[in-house]
Amino acid sequence: TWVGAYFNSDKPDDATNFPNGILDRTMTQNPDLIILGFGINDASTNQFPNTTIEYRLNQSKEWFEEGLKRIRGTESVNGRPAYNKSADELAIIICTPIQAENGTGRGRDAWQKYQREMLMELARKYNCAFYDVTARHWDHAFSGQWSQNNTTTERRYDKLHPMPACNADFMSGMQDLLFPICLWKWE
């Protein structure tokens, strides 16, 4: 959905409404900073049945890299537009996926480990900052109390969707990237 590579038959309007992905809408706003936290749904064996983890990792990398190529590059990718934004014009923070485990292939032992390596490589290649959400929230695999089920009205933990306090902690972890302490005004 981010780059425009649609696969979900449950949402056919996405391809019509966002032919170049949600990235295209983001870039029309001329941002100074983009924080990317994609990749957890790419691991899903429910959304991508009968696929290997290697296939899903390669597909995730292909989609992620397409977005970064389009942001930093001058040539369209897969027929979708490029935006020609250097690191001086647009800062990007790439985040690893949240540490989640709810039995759909999104566990840390394989997916998180390889996503981390792939995202660090892409961050270096496309001049982006890197923030390891997985490492910060490693213990989430052992407790679901950080999570909430977003699909029902009853309050129960799903070990996948973060509560607002958990989201706030992600931002706290990025503080040094956004506002390094040495740049604070001292009086």
Give residue-wise pLDDT tens across range 12-40: 677 777 888 889 999 999 999 999 987 66
Verdict on whether the full-model pTM lies above 0.85: no
Instruction: Report helix, strand or coil for 36.
Output: strand
Helices (H) and strands (E) counted in the chain, each on its own, are 7, 3
Q: Is the pLDDT of residue 73 over 60?
A: yes
Give pLDDT, residue 16: 76
Contact 140, 98 (CB under 8 A): yes
Higher-scoring residue by pLDDT: 39, 96: 96
Higher-scoring residue by pLDDT: 63, 157: 63
